[in-house]
Amino acid sequence: MTTTTHSGPVTSGGESHEDLIQQLGTALLNLVPVEGWRRIDLVSAMTVPAQDLGLTVIMDDGSRPEIAPPHELNVILAKLRTLLYQRGRGTWFSARISMNPPGAIFYNYNNDYEPVLTPPMEPEHYVEDLKMFPRDPDHIPAWLGEKLAAAEDKERN
């Protein structure tokens, strides 16, 4: 997991969802050869202070070369989180972006379920995240409520 000072920009920079998805697609295509790849799969788990990226590229021969995700992807994904924030409902905690040749892109966002990470994000990360992306109580899932309570307990002790 990459811990940063702040992954979330104050705004999305005025870019649309389509603009940001296109930027992600371009950045991902720049990581692979023009031909010979079968699938690109980017998985992101993100809060304001911490982010985790997993990048898998599957080649036509079935091999999976190790390719480090560039920082640029975190910046675009943080803008996407900001753009997709809904007042009172929050924004996503994890996302999956997949591409198939020649450049078909698919995406989905997880707003409600705890991201599966090893090690898991610290409870304090979720507290910090909710400061920037507040949620109404009825939009705080049980697992997130538990993380917030754990952070509060830790702060008291």
Beta-bridge partners for 90: 86
Could you read off the pLDDT of 36-45 as tens digits, one per residue?
999 999 999 9
Q: What percent of the chain has pLDDT over 90?
A: 82
Would the CA dihedral through 50, 52, 112, 76 be positive or negative?
Answer: positive
What would the two tokens of residue 137 be? 């109580």
pTM of the shown model: 0.86
| Number of Cβ atoms within 10 Å of the Cβ of 140 | 18
As a whole number of Å, the CA-based R_g of the chain is 17
What is the domain-level CATH number for residue 93? 3.30.500.20
Beta-bridge partners for 46: 51
Shortest CA distance to 2 belongs to which of 41, 57, 47?
47
Q: What is the pLDDT of residue 6?
A: 46
Place of tokens 């371009």: 26
Place of tokens 């992600």: 24
| Domain extent at residue 83 | 2-156
- pLDDT tops 50 at residue 104: yes
Crossing angle of helices 71-83 and 17-29, rounded to 10°: 160
Number of domains, the chain: 1
Band (pLDDT 50/70/90 cuts) for residue 13 is low
- pLDDT tops 60 at residue 26: yes
Mean pLDDT computed over every residue of the chain: 91
Residues 53-57 have a mean pLDDT of 96
Residue 42 to residue 99: CA distance in whole angstroms = 9
